[in-house]
Structure formats: structure tokens, C-alpha cells
Amino acid sequence: MTEPHHSPTPWPDARAIAARAAVKEAAHTAPVMLPLSEALGQVLAAPLAALTDLPPFDTSAMDGWALSGPGPWRLPTDEEDQGHGILAGHGEAAPLPDGHAVRIATGARVPPGATAVLRSEYGTDAGDGWLHASPAHPVVLGQDIRTRGQECRSGDQLLPAGTLVTPAVLGLAAAAGYDELPTVRRPRVEVLVLGDELLTEGLPYDGRIRDALGPMVGPWLRALGAELSGTRRLADEADAVYAAVAESSADVVVTTGGTAAGPLDHVHPTLRRLGAELLVDGVAVRPGHPMLLARLAPLGLEREGSGPEDAEPGSPEPGGPGPGSPGRGSPAPGSPGRGSPGPRKPEPGNSGPARPESSGNAESPRGAEGRRSPSGPARHLVGLPGNPLAAVSGLLTLAEPLLRTLTGRPAPAPGPAPLAEAVQGHPRDTRLVPVAFRQDMAVPLRFNGPAMLRGIAVADGLAVIPPGGAKRGAEVEVLDLPWSASATGQATDTDPAADRSAGRPAGRPAGGAADRQGGRATGRVTDRRATGRVTGRHATGREDDEDISPQEGPA
Ligand SMILES: Nc1nc2c(c(=O)[nH]1)N[C@H]1C(S)=C(S)[C@@H](COP(=O)(O)OP(=O)(O)OC[C@H]3O[C@@H](n4cnc5c(N)ncnc54)[C@H](O)[C@@H]3O)O[C@H]1N2
Ligand code: MOO
């Protein structure tokens, strides 16, 4: 395994490596069937093919009369009609003879023999048993009838695999006959927060500071489509870090801190002990250059039939075997084996200095559902640097592409935007700088130092500044934040006061949330989308216009 910080991986390569890292694991993940009520925010694991024609039968588009042939039309007697005509939600009505009309409701099945629907406001029932069309609205064949299969035929592909399940997708799926949807299983992620100096509440004191990453990283990963199995805070203690990583049943372990070369930086030593494969070890990006990505062996189990007590006495030392070797076995999940391991088999999970987060959704890393055969899918570890904005950089550089692959989502459309101001570059490394959109421009925000979150908290994205910097007006790539894109995160409702005091670019008028949102609605993000995915879809969607088709006329 390479030593830390030798030659940092170029930033674009690091993202590509992260996107490819879990291709095999993603391919072997079985879809999960979820009822529509639970599928919001998931990703379709298979294309959505219509299970029915839509509409499933010829339907009246308006309240009025179903007609057969040219008028005037004979209306049914009250006895024949029972007073209400044809309503929605009923079986097939009797055939309509030529020259006859019958009252019909919007959404009702059009009777056999009907040739058009006349809106109630365009016809006159004089009470003499005859219906007359208003001369201003001559009846056109087929008007106001939605013909069966107009939107789709049974079997038509409505949406491709990889589509995010939005409320509109749920509606379409229901209309097309689905009760449940095949979704991509969310990768399970565990966050391990390293650092003895961290406080979980109250004000900083005595050199100790608040943990800013515990509250941020888990929700960020969720917004990227992961299922958070827990956030745990670990003491800066080598065995605690080793045990927590070795025992984690998550698909992706995300650590914060401990990535540099200080005496208490335990991530590299842990990976060495685990025989992990370092895919990315340092990235040529500021902030965040010590970030890393590693492939871990599948979670090991004690050998079949052996309890933890019988774990082989000569079980290899941590660090001895390569990836995939069984026998780095740990006590079975939930088993009473805690006291048994010798000094070389550090205590797993919560029994060591590791402390589960009190806020509660932490599940035991030894939970029974985490059991997996040692030949199961590889796990991955993303090591985020401890400086908070450096950790954000790691989330976007490594965690986002890795989770994109594991969640089956398509790569986001690249979205360049012109810089409102020049941004100084690093001589060799890419810089990621928080920006806010104002009209069509990406405005670089202040407070973008590696230890600061004040800029990113009011940002719309992170601008990618190439080595050497970028001039005012230069088009740069802007990485979306998961809640500014179409992902599962809720819309952020940022505080205007925060904008005024914090992220506001120097010398610019304070914007406030409304301005920010207005800027985005008319600005670059929306434009990029409009010219990308949205327009692309629209171009293939001719049938979308059925309700303004000439047959139906303007509503
Ligand atoms: N000799 C060198 N020192 C450092 C280098 C280097 O290349 N050579 N790189 C620097 C860079 S750049 C970064 S980024 C950090 C990365 O540090 P670690 O990942 O090892 O993280 P720590 O040392 O634990 O912490 C760094 C910094 O961040 C604060 N921190 C950590 N965790 C949290 C948290 N959960 N919430 C808030 N703040 C946190 C911590 O207090 C430190 O101030 O290394 C540099 N050093
Ligand atoms: O990566 Mo470090 O964040 O430059 O400070």
C-alpha cells in the first residue's frame, strides 16, 4: 500500500475513480420492491413500462354530451337516462345510436358509437328532447374525446432505470397500474467522527470545539441517496478506529478527521492493518487534499460452525492478510464474545472507546442484518479530512460519485457558469470555491477557508477553479449541492440574515434568501437544467401536448 500523500491524484481522475470504484457492487445489488407510499426519493432499478393503455378506454375530456353523427341529436327520456347520463367510474354504457346524444361527465367512458363530445356550454337542451350545438362551435369529429392509448400503450417504456422517484413519478406509476416499484437498494453508510477535541453540545472551552461534521455529514450522505446506519464518535485511539472500521457492516464507511500525518491520525494505519486497497490517497484539490478512498474486504465472519470462542487461535494479525482473507473474524453479531480476543484482536464496536451517538439512530455495527459472507461485496471507505470545508470537498469529490454509482443515478449534466469575479488559483491543484448564483453569474463567496462553513452554508454550489486560477467571466464547472439538484434533500430555506452577514460576496449588496431564490429561478442553475435534461425530455415528448390538440380545443 502506498504511503500517504505521495503523488496526489488529479481532481478529475479522483472523481472518475470514485465513480468506477463500486460498479461491481452496484451491479450485484438486488432491487427492492417498495409500495408507492414508500418509494419517494428512491431510484428506479428498472425501466417503468406501462401496465395498461393510458387512458385505458376512450374517455370524455369534458362535461357535456356524447354524440353520434351530425346533429341535432335525440336526447334520452328521463326514464331512459335516470337523470344523470354517463358518469365516471362505471362500466361500459349502452351503444349510442346515430343521431343520439347522452349526458356524459369528464372522465366517463365514451359509449360505443359516440363520435364526439359536446361541452355543456356549447350545446342547448331546449327541453323538447333535442340537443342543438351552438352555431359558434361546430362539432368536429372526435372532439373532446381522449382516445384509449393516447398517452401510452401497455408495454411502452415510460421512464428509464435510474430515474429519481418524484411525486410526479409516483402519480404516473399509479396511473400506469403499479402498486409497488422496483428501487435500487440504498447503500448503507456509517459515519465515524474522529477527534478527542470535539464536543457534541454547548460552547467551546479549553481548546475543545464543537463537532461540526457529525451533524453535517450524515444528512449530506442521505441527500446523496444513502441510508445512514449511524454516526459514531470515536476517541483518537488506534484500536478504536481499527475496530470500528473492521466491524462496520455498512457498504460505505465515511470517516472524518485523522487523514493527515499527525501522531493521532489513525486512518492510514487502520487501512494498513486491514490490508485495504487505497484507490485514492490524497487529491490535488484545495481544500481537502488529504481525502482518500479505499476498498475494504467484505465484512468477515467467524468460520462456519465456530462461535467467537472458537475463533482460531492463530487468527492472522490485523494487517497480515490481504483483502478478502477470511479469518480477521470478529465475534458474531450480538454474540457474547467481547472478553475473548487477545491484545491483537481489539474489542469491536461500542465496547471500546467508541461511543454511539446519543441522538439515537445509530445501529450497532454488529447488527444481525450486517452479517454477510466474507465473499460478499467489497465495502468502501471514504476518508474525509477534519477541516470542515475540506470534508465537504471530500463529500463532493469522492462520496458523491461513489454513491451515484451505488444508487444507480445518472451522472449530473455538466453545468458551466461564468464567474462574476476572478478567483485566485492554486499553482498545481484544483480549487473548490463556494459560489452563489446571481442572475447568470457564479459569485464566489467569502469565508471559503478549509476550516470554515460560513461560505458553503449560503452557497448554491462549488465552483471548480482549475490550477492557476480563473478570470472574471471565465466559464467554470459548478458542482451542485445535493439539495440544489433534483435529489432527495428537502429544499433549503436559508436565513436571509445569514446571507447578509456571511456569504455575501465582498462589495455586493446583500441578497437575502428571496434574492437568491429569484436569482436561481431565472439564473444559471435553472438555465442549465432547462437547456439540458428538461429540454431533452420535452423534445421526445410530442404526445405531452394532447390536451391542447385541435380535437380537444383550448380548455
Ligand atoms: N504536516 C501536515 N499537516 C497537515 C497537512 C499536511 O499536509 N501536512 N494537511 C492539512 C490539511 S490540508 C488538512 S485538511 C488537515 C486534515 O487533517 P485530518 O484529516 O487529519 O483531521 P484532524 O487533524 O483530525 O483535524 C483537522 C482540523 O479539523 C478540525 N476538525 C476535525 N474534526 C472536526 C469536526 N468533526 N468538527 C469540527 N472540526 C473538526 C480539527 O479540530 C482540526 O482543526 O490536516 C492539515 N495538517
Ligand atoms: O485540505 Mo486542507 O483542507 O487544504 O485544509
Question: DSSP assignment of 116-153, as one string?
Answer: EEEEGGGEEE-SSSEEEE-TTS---TTTTEE-TTSSB-
Considering every ligand atom shown, identify the ligand nearest to the alpha carbon of residue 453 and give its number: 1
Residue among 387, 395, 397 to mutate when testing ligand 1 (max atoms within 8 A of CB): 387
Distance 436 CA to ligand 1 centre (A): 26
What average pLDDT score do residues 50-70 get?
96
Instruction: Evaluate: CB of 328 within 6 angstroms of ligand 2.
Output: no
Distance between Cα 263 and ligand 1 center (Å)? 12
Q: Is the pLDDT of residue 509 over 50?
A: no
Say what the pLDDT of residue 261 is. 76
Note whether 211 and 97 are same-domain residues. no
* β 292-296/379-384 pair status: antiparallel
Residue 510 in any domain: the answer is yes
Total domains present in the chain: 4
Q: What is the pLDDT of residue 82?
A: 61
Among 9, 289, 396, 452, which is best to mutate for testing ligand 2, by the most ligand atoms less than 8 A from CB? 289
Q: Give the structural domain span for 474.
A: 416-539
Domain boundary among 96, 130, 146: 146
Q: CB-hemisphere CA count at 13 Å for 311?
A: 25
Under the banding of pLDDT at 50, 70 and 90, the label for residue 440 is confident
pLDDT at 93: 78
CB neighbours of 88 closer than 8 A, spacing ≥ 6?
Answer: 105, 106, 107, 108
Q: Is the pLDDT of residue 337 over 60?
A: no
User: For position 312, what pLDDT does the model report?
Assistant: 34
- Looking from the CA of residue 236, the nearest atom of ligand 1 is 24
Greater confidence, 373 or 502? 373
Give the mean pLDDT of the chain: 77
- Rounded to the nearest 10 degrees, what angle do helices 267-274 and 238-247 cross at? 50
Ligand 1, atom 4: closest residue by C-alpha: 260
123 shares a domain with 160: no
Of 462, 481, 472, 437, which is closest to residue 286 (Cα–Cα)? 462
For residues 529 and 434, membership in a common domain is answered with yes
CATH number at residue 210: 3.40.980.10
246 and 259 in a common domain? yes
DSSP calls for 52-63: S-BSSS-EESSS
pLDDT at 242 over 60: yes
- As a whole number, mean pLDDT of residues 503-527 equals 34
Among 441, 447, 451, smallest CA distance to 516 is for 441
Say if residue 76 is in the same domain as residue 119.
Answer: yes
464 shares its domain with 510: yes
CATH number of the domain residue 113 falls in: 2.170.190.11
Choose one of 182, 202, 228: the last residue of a domain.
182
Within this chain, do residues 395 and 528 fall inside the same structural domain, yes or no? no
Which residue's alpha carbon is nearest to atom 4 within ligand 2?
A: 287
- Cell 374517455 locates to 59
Segment 81-87 shows an average pLDDT of 73
Report the SS3 class of residue 438: strand
Whether residue 261 is found in the same domain as residue 402? yes
CA–centroid distance, 202 to ligand 1, in Å, is 22
- Tell me which amino acid residue 262 is: G
Instruction: Say what the pLDDT of residue 535 is.
Output: 24
Place of cell 456509517: 190
The reply to whether 337 falls in a domain is no
| Residue 491's CATH number | 2.40.340.10
Any ligand 1 atom below 6 A from CB of 195: yes
Distance 290 CA to ligand 1 centre (A): 9
Whether residues 78 and 123 share a domain: the answer is: yes
**Pair 382, 236 in one domain:** yes
Predicted local confidence at residue 83, as pLDDT: 60
**DSSP bridge pairs for 212:** none
**Residue 81: its pLDDT value, please?**
65
Cβ of 461 less than 6 Å from ligand 2: no
Indicate which CATH number applies to the domain containing 163.
3.90.105
Of 377, 406, 435, the one marking the end of a domain is 406
Task: Tell me the pLDDT tens digit for each residue of 445-489.
Answer: 999 999 999 999 999 999 999 999 999 999 999 999 988 753 333
Residue with C-alpha cell 454516526? Answer: 231
Q: Does 224 share its domain with 171?
A: no
ipTM computed for the complex = 0.98
Instruction: Output the residue whose Cα is nearest ligand 2's atom 5.
Output: 450
Q: Whose CA is nearest to atom 30 of ligand 1?
A: 386
385 lines ligand 2 (CB under 6 A): yes
pLDDT for position 488: 34
Cα–Cα distances in Å, from 234 out to 319, 353, 367?
21, 7, 18
Cα 149 to ligand 2 centroid, rounded to whole Å: 57
User: Is residue 535 in a domain?
Assistant: yes
Other CB atoms within 10 A of residue 74 CB:
16
pLDDT of residue 236: 87
**Per the domain annotation, does 554 fall within a domain?**
no
The residues that bridge with 66 in the sheet, in sequence order, are 102, 117
Ligand 2 atom at shortest distance from the alpha carbon of 390: 3
Residue nearest to atom 5 of ligand 1 (CA): 260
Q: Give the chain's length.
A: 555
With a pLDDT cut of 90, the percent of the chain lying above it is 62
Is 390 close to ligand 2, i.e. is its CB under 6 Å away?
yes
Query: How far does the centroid of ligand 1 lie from the alpha carbon of residue 293, in Å?
Result: 17
CA 186-289-245 angle, 5° bins: 45
Kindly give, in sequence order, each residue whose CB lies less than 8 Å from that of residue 433, ignoring residues fewer than 6 positions away: 423, 444, 445, 448, 455, 462, 463, 465
Give a yes or no: residue 398 inside a domain. Answer: yes
User: What mean pLDDT is predicted for residues 408-422?
Assistant: 88
CB 323 within 8 A of CB 251: no
Residue 311 near residue 324 (C-beta atoms within 8 A) = no
Whether 233 is in the pocket of ligand 1, judged by its Cβ within 6 Å, is no
Q: Report whether residue 349 contacts ligand 2, using a CB cutoff of 6 Å.
A: no
CB 387 less than 6 A from any atom of ligand 2? yes
For 137-169, the pLDDT digits (tens) are 999 999 999 999 999 999 999 999 999 999 999
Average the pLDDT over 191-206 and give the result: 94
Answer whether residue 101 shows pLDDT above 90.
yes
Q: Are 84 and 76 in contact (CB under 8 A)?
A: no
Residue 320 included in any domain: no
Residue 386 near ligand 2, beta carbon < 6 Å: no
What digits encode the pLDDT tens for the residues 356-403? 333 333 333 333 333 444 567 899 999 999 999 999 999 999 999 999
Distance from the alpha carbon of residue 71 to the mean position of ligand 2, in angstroms: 80
Among 282, 283, 284, smallest CA distance to 265 is for 282
- Name the CA dihedral angle for 414, 416, 422, 425, rounded to a multiple of 10 degrees: 20
Q: How far apart are CA 205 and CA 460, in angstroms?
A: 33
Q: What percent of the chain has pLDDT over 70?
A: 71
389 CB near ligand 1 (under 6 Å): no
The single-letter DSSP state of residue 43 is B
pLDDT tens per residue, range 517-534: 333 333 343 334 333 222
- Kindly report, residue by residue over 286-329, the tens digit of the pLDDT: 999 999 999 998 886 322 233 333 333 333 333 333 333 333 33
Is residue 336 situated within a structural domain? no
Q: Is 370 part of a structural domain of the chain?
A: yes
Pairing type for strands 59-60 and 32-35 reads unpaired
Instruction: Give nearest CA residue, ligand 1 atom 34.
Output: 211
Which bound ligand lies closest to the C-alpha atom of 288? 2
Same domain, 225 and 367: yes
Q: From the CA of 386, which ligand is nearest?
A: 1
CA–CA separation, 114 and 86 (whole Å):
12
Helix (H), strand (E) at residue 401: helix 400-406
The pairing of strands 430-438 and 441-444 is antiparallel
